Structure 1
Amino acid sequence: MDLQLSGRVAVVTGASKGIGLAVVRTLLAEGARVVAASRKTTPELDALAGPSLLHVPVDLMDHDAPGQVVERAVREFGGLDVLVNNAGGPPPGVRLPRSSFLEADDGQWLAMFEFNLFAVVRAVRAALPHLIERGGGAIVNVSSGNARQPSPMNVDYGAAKAALNNLGQALSEEFAARGVRVNTVSPGPVRTAWWTDEGGVADMFAAQAGTDRDTVMDSVVPETMGLTIGRMIDPQEVADAVVLLASPRSAGTTGAEFVVDGGFLKTV
């Protein structure tokens, strides 16, 4: 299927690994020109280097960073058609999961909302004039199943993502008439570095369960989180949904939430 993305300009945040890297790779394969924003690059992102890819090293906790990334895309590639707000999760200095709501102080709550909500607000604010100038475009926000399935281990994260879902719905209502579609993709547990790195979440769970990280990801997580497909999600599976929503082939879809969670959410 031709997603009609050839020549279009996209900004992707959190682009150096995991879901963001998969989104960048897929957009490039579809012929898009991509500005990849992340604190630092990775060998995997460097391997995609070429005239259609620009990496911008930024810390999205810096209030000016989202606007700088958007302006760089416009300057380098002449405009903007797609914004993928993928960066999220624990901000620098914050570690998840927690054992209780009582573990997080005000500073950690503020940092979580800065990274997972306010950075998105700033990116959207910067991007909208350029999207509208081009006659419209697409914004895709990467949220989480925890936005609708609260967890005491990640309560501040879930609250920030719930706010992100609300933001996306409100934006879709206001800007659809001006050609800008806004949709949300909500992954479940994705097999990314947050889980797989040494000292990551899989190792934390493995220590508690008296097992190893591979057993945690292959068996413990799918069982305890009720993943009906029996496994964690691959980043590419989330990226496929993101890129489809970014594409003109989804021109009739706005204000929607696409769930890619392996059956994690059970509600209607």
Structure 2
Amino acid sequence: MDLQLSGRVAVVTGASKGIGLAVVRTFLEEGARVVAASRKSSAELDALAGTDLVHVPVDLTDPEAPGQVVARAVEEFGGLDVLVNNAGGPPPGAKLPRFGFLTPTDADWREMFEFNLFSAVRAIRAAVPVMLGRGGGAIVNVSSGVARQPAAMNVDYSAAKAGLNNLTKALSEEYGPQGIRVNTVSPGPVLTAWWTEEGGAADIIAGQAGTDRESVITTVAPQMMGLTTGRLVDPQEIADVVALLASPRSGSTTGTEFAVDGGFLKAV
């Protein structure tokens, strides 16, 4: 199926690995021109280098950074059609999961909201005027299933993602009549470095459960999170939905949340 993304200009944040990298790769395969934003590049992102890809090294917790990324898209490719707010998860230097409400400090809460909510707010604020000048566009916010199914861990992260969901609905109402569609993709646990790297989520949970990293990834985490599929989500499965929502073929889809979570969310 032709997603009609050829020649369109996309900004993808958190683009050097995991979901963001899969989104960048998918957009390039569909013929889009991509500005990839992340604190640093990666071997996998460098392997995609070409005339249709520009990497912008930024720390998105810097209030000026999201606007700089959008400006770079205009400078390099003449405009912006698609914005994917994927950057999120543990802020720089933080490790998740954190257990219990009393664990995160005020500073932890501020850093979490800066990275997972305010960076998206600022990117959207910069992108909207550019998109309006081109007659419309598509914004996809990458949220999380815990925005609607929180638990007694990562409470600050869950709250920030709930805010992102609410923001998506508000933006879709305001800008839908002007041609900008805004949607959310809510992953469950995804098999990325957040889980697999040394000291990451799998190691932290393994320490709590008295097991090892591999057992957490293959068995403990899917059981703990009630995943119907019995496995963590593959990043490409998220990227495929993001690409469809970015496509003009989803022209009547806005203000909607798509769960790609292995059956994590159980509510009707």
Give the AA of the match of 2:29.
A
Q: Distance in 1 between matches of 2:119 and 2:35?
A: 16
4+ runs deviating over 4 angstroms:
none
Give the AA of the match of 2:8.
R
Q: Distance in 2 between matches of 1:51 and 1:93?
A: 33
Shift, 1:107, TM fit: 1.0
Query: What are structure 1's unaligned runs of at least 5 residues?
Result: none
Shift, 1:227, TM fit: 0.3
Q: Distance in 2 between matches of 1:47 and 1:236?
A: 17
Question: Is 2:135–2:178's contact at 8 Å kept on the other side of the alignment?
Answer: yes
Q: Tell me the TM-score normalised to structure 1 length.
A: 0.99
Per the alignment, residue 156 of structure 1 pairs with 156
Q: Distance in 2 between matches of 1:166 and 1:65?
A: 23
Number of residue pairs aligned between Structure 1 and Structure 2: 268
Per the alignment, residue 207 of structure 2 pairs with 207
SS at match of 2:175: helix
Shift, 1:94, TM fit: 2.4
Q: Distance in 2 between matches of 1:201 and 1:120?
A: 24
Percent identity over paired residues: 74
1:266 pairs with 2:233: no
Q: Counterparts in 2 of 1:73-152, with a 5 A limit?
A: 73-152=73-152
Shift, 1:92, TM fit: 1.4
Once the two structures are superposed, what CA deviation does each residue of 1:202-231 show, in whole Å capped at 9, x if it has no partner? 112222222221111111111111100111
Once the two structures are superposed, what CA deviation does each residue of 1:95-127 show, in whole Å capped at 9, x if it has no partner? 211121101111110111111111111000000
Q: Distance in 1 between matches of 2:132 and 2:264?
A: 36
Q: Distance in 2 between matches of 1:35 and 1:152?
A: 37
Q: Distance in 2 between matches of 1:77 and 1:128?
A: 16
1:171 pairs with 2:171: yes
Query: What are structure 2's unaligned runs of at least 5 residues?
Result: none
Q: Tell me the TM-score normalised to structure 2 length.
A: 0.99
Q: CA RMSD in A?
A: 0.7
Per the alignment, residue 61 of structure 2 pairs with 61
1:246 pairs with 2:246: yes
Once the two structures are superposed, what CA deviation does each residue of 1:3-37 show, in whole Å capped at 9, x if it has no partner? 00000000000000000000000000000000000
Question: Is 2:97–2:204's contact at 8 Å kept on the other side of the alignment?
Answer: no
Q: Distance in 2 between matches of 1:199 and 1:98?
A: 13
